[in-house]
């Protein structure tokens, strides 16, 4: 099992939506299941950006950008490669990451993108970055030195 953790800091829901759409466009979900866990819904922002910039992302309609009310009710049909997008406060993200890690098997790979609102988590940025393998920006992933 290989797990790669990325962190992302966003300024608004539109900023987060743009980052995610650019990332999904670039990666195009190659042979990956995409699972989302959102404490705050970004579906409206995603739809506005898709309509405005006409994103053509394969299987985007299969990705749920709504609030995940109960993380334990989310069914995970894991494949070899899985992408998890988690957005919320520190407690929500930690709880969701624990749930994900408990459900991974030895023959699965996972990339977990933990998305934090900059205004609420700026005091913890150093700790968050130290626990991550990479940072996700609008322009893509950057390995943490």
The tens place of each residue's pLDDT in the chain, 145 residues long, gives 899 999 999 999 999 999 999 999 877 656 788 999 999 999 999 999 998 988 777 778 889 999 999 999 998 988 889 999 999 999 999 999 999 999 998 889 999 999 999 999 989 999 999 999 999 998 889 998 7
Contact 134, 141 (CB under 8 A): yes
CATH of the domain at 41: 3.40.50
Cβ neighbours around 99 below 10 Å, total: 16
Structural domain boundaries enclosing 131: 2-143
Tell me the pairing of strands 134-137 and 109-117: unpaired
pTM (predicted TM-score): 0.93
| Total domains, the chain | 1
Show the CA angle centred on residue 116, arms to residues 48 and 74, nearest 5°.
75
Give the integer Cα–Cα distance in Å for 103 and 69: 18
């Amino acid at each position: 099992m290989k797990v790669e953790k990325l962190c992302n800091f966003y300024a608004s829901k539109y900023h987060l939506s743009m980052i995610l759409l650019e990332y999904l466009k670039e990666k195009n979900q190659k042979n990956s299941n995409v699972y989302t866990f959102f404490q705050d819904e970004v579906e409206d922002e995603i739809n506005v950006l898709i309509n405005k910039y006409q994103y053509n992302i394969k299987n985007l309609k299969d990705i749920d950008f709504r609030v995940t009310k109960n993380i334990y009710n989310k069914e995970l049909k894991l494949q070899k490669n899985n992408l998890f997008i988690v957005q919320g406060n520190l407690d929500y993200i930690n709880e969701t990451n624990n749930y994900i890690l408990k459900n991974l098997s030895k023959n699965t790979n996972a990339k977990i993108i933990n998305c934090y609102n900059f205004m609420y988590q700026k005091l913890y940025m150093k700790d968050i970055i130290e626990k991550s393998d990479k940072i996700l920006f609008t322009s893509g992933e950057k390995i943490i030195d």
